[in-house]
Amino acid sequence: MDWLARPRGATLIALRALALGLAAMAGLGAFVLFLQFGEADGLQTLDVVRAVLILISTLWLAWGAVQALIGLTTLPNPPRIDPSKPIEGRTAVLVPVYNEDPISTFSRVAAMDASLDATGDAARVDFAILSDTRNEEIAAREAAVFAHLVEERDAVGRFFYRRRLNNIGKKAGNIEDFMTRSGGAYDYALILDADSLMEGETILTMIRRIEAEPDIGLLQSLPRVIRGRSRFARAMQFSAAFFSPVFARGLAMLQGRTGPFWGHNAIVRTRAFAESCGLPALRGQPPFGGHVMSHDYVEAALLARKGWRVRLDDDLEGSFEEGPENIIDHAKRDRRWCQGNLQHARIIGAPGLCGWSRFVFAQGIMAYIAPLFWLGFIAASVAAPLFVPAPDYFPEPYWPFPYFPPSEASKAIGLAIGIFGLLLVPKLLIAGRAALLGHARNFGGPTMGFASTLAELAFSSLTAPVLLAFATRSVCQVVLGRDGGWPTNNRGDGRLSVNEGFAASWWIVAIGLGGLVLTYIFSPGLLLWLLPVGLPMLAAPWLISWSSQTSRSALMTVPSEVELPPVVALHNRILSRWDNAFPAPDAALSSDSSDSRRSPAHA
């Protein structure tokens, strides 16, 4: 029954055609409904424009819903491997760092090494900390903490640290530098982020899986977000734990040999990576030229082009990461991803790529430009009354009775319900499935699972207009040629005041106010419909501050809070011990450390 979990050949083609067909049907249905609604007062050019915009937007929403539907109707089927068979190959765990707090990052390495020790397996697994740190004081602290790490773990010859003098190519260049200099000494490389944690047993399982199938070039796990403290972080954490596995299952069904790479918590075959994934700088200047920013998608495509299989194993547990604690830090990170994904417009036509790889690039680009279609539809709808001719109630000469065109309001209402359904129904179905299969017990039980789902839907509905505004600004900045660079990730306490929220979002407030005023003047009938978008924009500073505060609610509880994963418990103990062993950095270091909170106005 492996084809049910990993379809291939004609089955895969049929499944992809079905998924694309269902999404297309939903988009075309919305297109036709809107045209029928527009015909009520005479079809105008602007009606056709709005219908096309709603077609594209609905098609995008429907694709996500179809992916969830596939995930809801299938279950993972882990590959059968012999866990007692000795691992033959050597593995390097790569931890790229860039101006990170070394206490927090290096203690994660200690925790993963201790977790590997606890398995009792004799596999050879080394750790390489690859520093791109630019701050000299942080670099000095890295060296001191690394010496402590090696001594505590008795890891001479197993732990390595090197700092590049020039961080050309950012993270991708950092990994490439390791592959060039040291990759030949290892069969596999497990690529992590500075905030990644993985159970020792998970690491060994991934090594065994890639070793058992020689055609696999990359194996991606599905990381769970942990340690969320703020309302925003806990909502993201719940979504990643409760909804993402179903969407990932749908993706795993559709991927074939050309699966995803998300840049971390994935294992690669070093020979395959070295021979396939060289990334030349693109011609021209950033944001569309220069070094490839969203390198992970490109590396997955290059591996597939060389015939290597790239696979997402969505059944793997024990893979963790941390997320941003507030909307501003999320927007900063998303700005970098936006530039990287739009840069793929320069790569999508590269020769020899698999068709599905090109489709993945198109999806990544669409993920960021989709808000522009929604905003275009809203703007066109507000402006529509200016272009509609006055109604003619006496179209027939000398006919004494007026003609009133039939109302098509039911079609508009049906269209609105359908669009909202694409957003809401998949999550509600996931909650129902979790209750039926018993998965909800790890989220506080079926009742709490449904309540948390409703809470997440309400939270995401409130914050969506604000996030949409940041995403739209990012797209506009990239299109206008502004390079966002590679800002340091902020970790730790992410609480923001209302003033800090206003400094970052005053322009969102202005756009929201201006949009509602223009709607009231030119299209008052739409005002009520646009309040769910306009009011959160007016309240952006307060939403940003409120969502960044620590959450003490039992809603959106995740399994890692009910029962602490062993490697997380290990890390907590080691981190507490190291915090006492190392003095806090001085003010100069704190001001440039990734743990510090930078001004949100620069998001």
Summarize pLDDT for 70-105 with one digit per residue, the tens.
Answer: 999 998 888 888 888 899 999 999 999 999 999 999
The residues with which 92 forms a beta bridge, in sequence order, are 126, 189
Q: The domain that contains 114 carries what CATH number?
A: 3.90.550.10
- Helical ranges in 394-445 per DSSP H: 409-437
Answer yes or no: is pLDDT of 384 > 60.
yes
Q: In this structure, is residue 518 part of a structural domain?
A: no
Task: Give me the domain span that covers residue 265.
Answer: 91-225+253-325
Task: Encode burial over 559-578: b for 16+ CB neighbours within 10 A, e otherwise.
Answer: bbbeeebbbbebbeebbeeb
* Residues whose CB is less than 8 angstroms from the CB of residue 343 and which lie 6 or more positions away in sequence, other chains included: 282, 287, 288, 292, 293, 294
State the Cα torsion 196-202-203-205 to the nearest 10°.
-150
DSSP state of 349: T
| Cα 497 from Cα 325, distance rounded (Å) | 13
Residue range 458-479, pLDDT digits in tens: 999 999 999 999 999 999 999 9
Nearest alpha-carbon partner for 47 in 56, 35, 55, 59: 35
Answer yes or no: is pLDDT of 116 > 60.
yes
More confidently predicted of 182 and 580: 182
Q: In this structure, is residue 64 part of a structural domain?
A: no
Q: In this structure, is residue 194 part of a structural domain?
A: yes
Confidence at 389, pLDDT banded by 50, 70, 90: low
pLDDT of residue 398: 56
Please tell me the total count of domains within the chain: 1
pLDDT of residue 590: 42
Residue range 504-539, pLDDT digits in tens: 999 999 999 999 999 999 888 888 888 999 999 999
Query: What is the DSSP annotation of 354-407?
Result: -HHHHHHHHHHHHHHHHHHHHHHHHHHHHHGGGGSPPP-S--STT--S---PPP
pLDDT of residue 37: 75
Question: Above pLDDT 90, what percent of the chain?
Answer: 73
Q: What mean pLDDT is predicted for residues 117-128?
A: 96
State the Cα torsion 531-532-537-541 to the nearest 10°.
120
pLDDT of residue 388: 64
Confidence at 597, pLDDT banded by 50, 70, 90: very low
Residue whose structure tokens are 């739009």:
342
Q: In this structure, is residue 142 part of a structural domain?
A: yes
Q: In this structure, is residue 297 part of a structural domain?
A: yes
pLDDT of residue 390: 53
Full strand arrangement of the beta sheet holding 188-191: 159-163, 125-131, 91-97, 188-191, 266-269, 216-220, 309-312
Q: In this structure, is residue 173 part of a structural domain?
A: yes
| Cα 544 from Cα 541, distance rounded (Å) | 5
Q: In this structure, is residue 387 part of a structural domain?
A: no
- Is the peptide bond preceding residue 532 cis, with omega within 30 degrees of 0? no
| Cα 414 from Cα 461, distance rounded (Å) | 20
Q: In this structure, is residue 120 part of a structural domain?
A: yes
338 within 8 A of 239, measured Cβ to Cβ: no
pLDDT of residue 360: 95
Answer yes or no: is pLDDT of 43 > 90.
no
Query: What is the DSSP annotation of 281-293?
Result: PBSSSTTTSBS-S
430 within 8 A of 67, measured Cβ to Cβ: no
Per the prediction, the chain carries an average pLDDT of 89
What would the two tokens of residue 32 be? Answer: 């036709």
**pTM for this model (two decimals):** 0.90
